[in-house]
Structure formats: C-alpha cells, structure tokens
A and B are shown apart, each in its own frame.
Chain A
Amino acid sequence: MLSEFDKAILNAVQGEFPLESRPFAVLAKRLHTDETTLIARLTELKRDGYLRRLGAYFDSDALGYKGTLIALYVSPDKFASVIEAINRYDGITHNYEREGEYNLWFTLQTASESQRQIILDEIHGLPGVEKMLELRSAKKYKVRVQFRLD
C-alpha cells in the first residue's frame, strides 16, 4: 500500500525533475525530507514496481525519427511467437494486447523510411499475422504520461 509520503514522492517525480547537480536534494527539500531518504524510498518504489523509470524523454521528431502505430490481428495460436519476434526490435517501444478486431497494437520509431519498410515487411510476413493496419502519425497533440495519485 502506498503511504501519503509515497504518493507525494510519485506525484513530484512525475513533474519536472531538476536539471541541477543535486536534483534529489532539490526535490527532497520540496517534499520536506532529505536526499538520502528520498533516494532510498525511490529505489524501493522502483523495486516494488510502482515506478517504471526516471529518465529523459525526447521529442522523437526533433531527433529525426518518424513514428507509426501498427494494429495487427494475430491468430491466438501464434500469439506468443509473434510477440517474441516483435519485441526484439528496439524501435518498437510499446506493444499492447487489446480487445477487438485488432488484438495487438504497437508503436514503431525509425530513423529512415527504408528501415521502417523492412521491419514492417518482416512483421507482415510472420506466421499468424492475419491483418495489419499502418496508422502513421500526422500530428502529435499530446504526449504527457502523468498519473496523479490522490
């Protein structure tokens, strides 16, 4: 169970993490605690699976990458092998099984058009992939993964 202190920590680290030499100390001060306590608790929250990652998030377009969303219908008997093959690509960062006429949805980011096409052809050819939709992003309106804990 998360304590009020844990929730305060998780809400705070989802905001802007300080770009300063001692960022945990800065954050700790705001949370009325100290650097050592905050680092120890964050380590535990990560170990216990509440915190996925503390990191830098870049604008993929600005780095020269193009993103696309792919929807597949994969036959149930081949599901495991298709997932294994798909998850091996570094450019595929999100892969979700969903309910509905398309049951596997993943995102792909590549630095070139040819690389994108090669990967998609490989995936289209996997045994069990019965339907495939490519939904290229046109405009990004929001990417802000923040979950407020009350």
Chain B
Amino acid sequence: MLEEKDRKIVSALADGIPFVPRPYAVLAEKAGMEEEEFLSRLKDLKTQGILRRVGAVLQHRRAGFSANALCIWNVPEDRLDGVGAAVSREPSVSHCYSRETAPEWPYNFYAMIHAHSREVCESIADRISAENGLGERKTFYSVREWKKAAMRYFCENH
C-alpha cells in the first residue's frame, strides 16, 4: 500500500500540472513537502510502475481524429496474450484489454481504434482481424463524448 506522503502526491496531482515555470514546486506545496522530495518520490513511483507517465492528452477529435471505434472480438482464451501483445503494437490503438464475458455476450477482447475517417478505421480493424485470425467483430463508433476526465484518486465523493 502507498505511504501517506505518496498518497498526498497522487492527490495533489489530481488537477494536472500547472503551466508555470516550476510546476512541481506548486504541487509540492499542496502536498506539504519540498519540491526536491516531491520530485524524488515521484521518480520512485515511476520506477515502481505506479506512475505510468507524466504527459499530455489531446482532445483527439479537435486534433482531427474523428473516427473512434470500440472494436470487440471473441478470442480463444489460450491466444489472448499473444493477440493482446500484437494489437498493442498498433499505433492507432490506444486501449487494449481482455474482459470477462457475460451471458449472451461471448466477446472478451477490446481495442479502441482512432483514425481520421471511418474508412481508415475499418481498414485498420479488418487488418487486425486478418493478421490475428480473428472472427466476427463488433464495432461501436463514438457518437459523442459525454465525459472524459482523469481519475481523481483518493478524493472520491461517492
């Protein structure tokens, strides 16, 4: 489990990195420690893999990625890891998960594909199917984003 100081760091970062010359000094103050300690703990969290990365996320639609599809397949259990590794190498795939199935829902493999048009998106999904010998695919294109927020860890109100 995380130490109290690290939890403070995670929660100080809930609103992102401020656009000021020394952003970590501002965040460190929120977390009640010196900038140096904040940065050294943050680096440790990175080394341990608890922090995946610090970086920016774009508004992908605004940046021209207008076709965004959740593609779903049913992959035999023993092939999941291999297919997962292959699909993860696709630059146009942002999220790739295996998931539990549900009654009347045999699909266990999920990938989000982003492209500039539906035509391109379909061709990527078709190629992924063909290269990995996957069967029937279900495709759910995004119509509208109603919420996209970064998770605020250790500060939920529900």
Q: Give the interface of A toward B (CB within 8 A).
A: 2, 10, 13-17, 19-25, 35, 39, 42-43, 46, 49-60, 62-65, 69, 83, 86-100, 102-106, 109, 111, 115, 119, 133-149
- Contacting pair B50 A142 (CB below 8 A): no
Main secondary structure of the interface of A (DSSP, over half): mixed
27 A-B pairs whose Cβ atoms sit less than 8 Å apart in the complex: A2-B63, A10-B63, A15-B55, A21-B39, A39-B20, A39-B21, A50-B59, A53-B57, A55-B13, A58-B51, A59-B50, A59-B52, A64-B1, A65-B153, A83-B146, A95-B146, A95-B147, A96-B142, A98-B142, A98-B143, A133-B102, A138-B98, A141-B84, A143-B94, A145-B94, A147-B60, A148-B91
**Shortest Cβ-Cβ A-B pairs, 10 listed:** A141-B84, A55-B16, A142-B88, A13-B56, A95-B147, A98-B140, A142-B96, A141-B96, A17-B54, A56-B13
- Contacting pair A137 B97 (CB below 8 A): yes
* CB contact list, B62-97 vs A, under 8 A: 62-65, 70, 80-81, 84-85, 87-88, 91, 93-97
B130 within 8 A of A: no
A64 to B91, CA, bound (A): 29
B24 contacts which of A23, A99, A149 (Cβ < 8 Å)? A23
Given A93-B150, A138-B97, A63 and B10 contact (CB-CB distance below 8 Å): yes
Closest to B139 in A: A100
Given A53-B57, A64-B1, A91 and B156 contact (CB-CB distance below 8 Å): yes
Which chain B positions have C-beta within 8 A of A62? 48-50
Q: How many residues of B contact A (CB 8 A)?
A: 80
- Contacting pair A22 B22 (CB below 8 A): yes
- Contacting pair B50 A93 (CB below 8 A): no
